[in-house]
Amino acid sequence: MTEELKSASDIKKENLSPDSNAAAIEAPAGKSGAFASLRLPNFRLLLSGSVLSYANQWIQSVVLGWLVYDLTGSGTILGTINLVSSIASLGMLFATGLLVDYYNRRKLMLISSGGFLALTLSLGLVLLTGHANIIYLFVFATIYGSVEILDSTVRQVVVFDLVPRSQTPSAMALIQTGWSVMRVVGPSLGGFLILWLTAGGSFLLMAGVCAVIAITVIYMKLAPRTPEAVRSSPLQNIQEGLSYLFREPVTRIFTLIGIVMPILAVPIFATLPPIYAVHVFHDNSGKVLGFLVAAVGVGGVIGGVVTAYMKRWEHWGWLQMASLFLLSVSLIGFAYTSTLPLDLGILVFAGFFEIIFLTTNMTLIQLSIPDKLRGRVTAAVNLTWILSPIGSLIAGAGADWLGPKEITIILAGVAAGLVVLVLAFSPTVRNYRLSRSIKANSGSPSSVSNEG
């Protein structure tokens, strides 16, 4: 083990909040399999609520996008409303970290669920009463972005409050699998809901889903924790989280690696498929686009399930980098072919490796963070995903200037090159051992939180 990893363990041991482990227990003997976390009632509630939340996010994205374009006919305004939501998330980012560290996390989840419920219900009623206005949609997107960053951050952190550390890799994989399932199902549901219920009815249905999510939180039990008192200004507390991120080698390197996905890979999945459908496969009906998106999602579901079985694999640093490299190679292969069945098969592999990378990256980062700083550091890490519009802009402009195939090869090629550089120059990644990180922070949630 390198000196970097040793120092990381020492930092974690020094900073662990005693309250977080006061009543800790290990997972029961014989219950450490890939799906052992599903035996925990409170994790099942978290997983169910998270999957429903992902479904709402995908449906909301489709319905809101359709509504904006229907009202304005402007692609620029459509892009602007997404940018406004990202800016709102950015504005709430570090305040979210403080809230997650210093306040009751279950209450924060109830607040975010209630916020989503009030937002979707209000907009649904406005639309159904015939008062649709682009200003209302911008207000909705702004508030929604602020609430979404709170909800996503606290849900990431709560996994480590509910699940023993030996089971967290598998638990994170199951949550990512749920995200992949909804990536396939959610957009299709959004399209059907517009036809069946109109946009207003769709938002009312989403409000009902938000109510169900709130119920899962009400029945969820978290281990008692006593957050430290805030002894300094909010700015100093935020700085403490950022300082840990920059000085801790494991957290720092895996966070930097995580930036590759939203900047170089996700734009290929999110921005370029419509261009491929029209300009490469000559289809304007949306059928090919649906196939392309679904292929990535199917691969992601398979990848999430496989990752749940890989927690006994020690070399997760290598696993993470190998999955990113193979994802990049898959995308380059996708760009070089123009045969739809072959391309769909390649995209299944791309989605497979994408979820393995996302799960391992998120898990390794979380395992490196002490509990008392988890919210603030997680919020800082989430900054990388708020920057994803930059990647989308690069991909879109590159497709206009060079062509979709060419920009895909460039972005994926850069990602593959970065993998080689990281493995060549980072002993922290090469020498990472999953079991050592789990033991370094061996606390588990209390029996209260796991017995429901």
- Separation between Cα atoms, residue 215 and residue 370, nearest integer Å: 29
Distance of CA 22 to the CA centre of its chain: 30
AA letter at 230: V
- Per the domain annotation, does 22 fall within a domain? no
pLDDT: is 152 or 35 the higher one? 152
What average pLDDT does this structure show over 245-265?
90
Ramachandran region, residue 311 (left: φ > 0; alpha: ψ -120 to 50; beta: rest): alpha
pLDDT digits (tens, 9 = 90+) for 326-339: 999 999 999 998 89
Rounded Cα distance between 22 and 15, Å, is 14
pLDDT higher at 26 or 68: 68
- Residue at 98 is within a domain: yes
- With 70 as the cut, is the pLDDT of residue 307 above it? yes
Sorting pLDDT into bands at 50, 70 and 90, what band is 231?
Answer: low
Q: Residue 45 domain-assigned?
A: yes
Domain that holds residue 109: 3-14+28-224+237-451
Per-residue model confidence (pLDDT) at position 34: 67
On whether residue 231 sits in a domain, the answer given is no
In a domain, 229, yes or no: no
The total number of structural domains that make up the chain: 1
pLDDT of residue 320: 94
- pLDDT computed for residue 325 by the predictor: 97
Give the mean pLDDT of 52-72: 87
Specify the pLDDT at position 23: 31
Gap between the Cα atoms of 72 and 140, Å rounded: 16
What's the pLDDT tens digit per position in 159-186? 988 988 888 888 888 898 888 888 878 8
Angle in degrees, 0-180, between the axes of helices 316-336 and 249-258, rounded to the nearest 10: 10
Helices 75-102, 374-386: axis angle to 10 degrees equals 170
The pLDDT mean for the chain works out to 82
Within-domain flag for 23: no
Distance, in Å, from the CA atom of 30 to the CA atom of 54, rounded to the nearest integer, reads 31
Q: Encode pLDDT of 420-432 as tens digits.
A: 999 999 999 999 9
pLDDT of residue 25: 32
The better pLDDT of the pair 14, 138 is held by 138
pLDDT at 11: 35
pLDDT of 228 reads: 55
41 pLDDT band (50/70/90 cuts)? Answer: very high
What is the C-alpha end-to-end distance of the chain, expressed in Å? 39
Domain annotation covers residue 61: yes
pLDDT band of residue 65 (cuts 50, 70, 90) is confident
The verdict on residue 172 lying in a domain is: yes
Sign of CA dihedral 156, 161, 163, 167: positive
Minimal CA–CA distance to 194: which of 69, 78, 86, 81?
Answer: 69
| Mean pLDDT (whole number) for 290-302 | 86
pLDDT more than 90, % of the chain = 36
The enclosing domain of 195 has a CATH number of 1.20.1250.20
Average pLDDT (205-226) is: 90
> 450 or 257: whose pLDDT is higher?
257
Spatial separation of the C-alpha atoms in residues 250 and 418, rounded to whole Å: 17
3-state secondary structure (DSSP) of residue 325: helix
Please determine, for residue 76, whether its predicted confidence score (pLDDT) is greater than 70: no
Position with higher pLDDT, 334 vs 232: 334
Would you state the pLDDT for residue 15?
Answer: 37
